[in-house]
Amino acid sequence: MTLAPPDGLLVLDKPGGVTSRHAVDRALRWFPRGTRIGHTGTLDPLATGVLVLCLGAATRLAEYVQRMPKTYRAGLRLGARSDTDDADGTVTPVEAAVAPDAAALAARLADFLGEIAQTPPAYSAAKVAGRRAYDMARAGRTVELRPRAVHVHGIDVLKYDYPWLDLKVRCGKGTYIRSLARDLGERLGCGALVQTLRRTRVGPFAAEDAVPPDADAAAARVRMRPVEDAVTDLPRVVLDETAVRILCRGGTVRPTGTVLREGEAAVFDRANQLVAIGFWSTGRQVMWPEKVLRRGP
């Protein structure tokens, strides 16, 4: 019997030493030919941990998983710098580096809380004039990336024994832990780089619930998550069948019994099936479809 391509999410525990693309290619072998699959946020080869894959219809919802907050366990090495800002690059010790005390460390870490301007690493997937920065850096070209706004929700010091510093970082979309380490090292005056990195959580998806690297096809299919888990951060709206049909055909509806703020919402039918992503306009008092997921005529 030929299995149908699945719709849903799969949470991988990416091993170190492989790219996110390689991890996706490995997962493809667990599913029928023709399965659409993509990941929702690149992890560096050095990094391990949560890599959320979207399969089938869920690939249309990847952007909502990408927006979810992320948690990292980062092992930093102070007193050194790297051209890649991590241990995979060329590491140069900082001569006469002075070990910062705990008070100085806490003060500088506080500088990185909230919304900050962060410049991505030269060796990153950020684009410059349409080209990946890491391709330009590997070719020996100078890479000039513009700072971008990112949000850091919290930083906890788990252990500090110079030159080793273990941090727990909770942050939003687009935050580079390598950039945080680099910039922290400059503020401290001693340099810093990422020695180890593990992503422990993306939104509701935790590492302890992830499929291990040595899983087989049967184990992977059992651990599939439903499509609606991609939109847990959106408000939820339930429509009756008539309203569902109107919305899924491109019309506008007025949900009743639900108080909404202007913006996107996850729309479900009475059978608890995700049918669309709608946009509620407070001014017009109507909802229109942004993404229609329901199959059928």
Q: Which residues belong to the active site? A: 44
Please report the sign of the dihedral spanned by the C-alpha atoms of residue 136, residue 139, residue 141, residue 147: positive
Helices 177-188/102-110 angle, 10° precision = 130
Q: Are 109 and 138 in contact (CB under 8 A)?
A: no
Element (H, E) at 178: helix 177-188
**Exposed/middle/buried for residue 275 (C-beta within 10 Å: 0-12, 13-18, 19+):** buried
- The number of beta carbons lying within 10 Å of the beta carbon of residue 240 is 12
- How many CB atoms within 10 Å of residue 110? 10
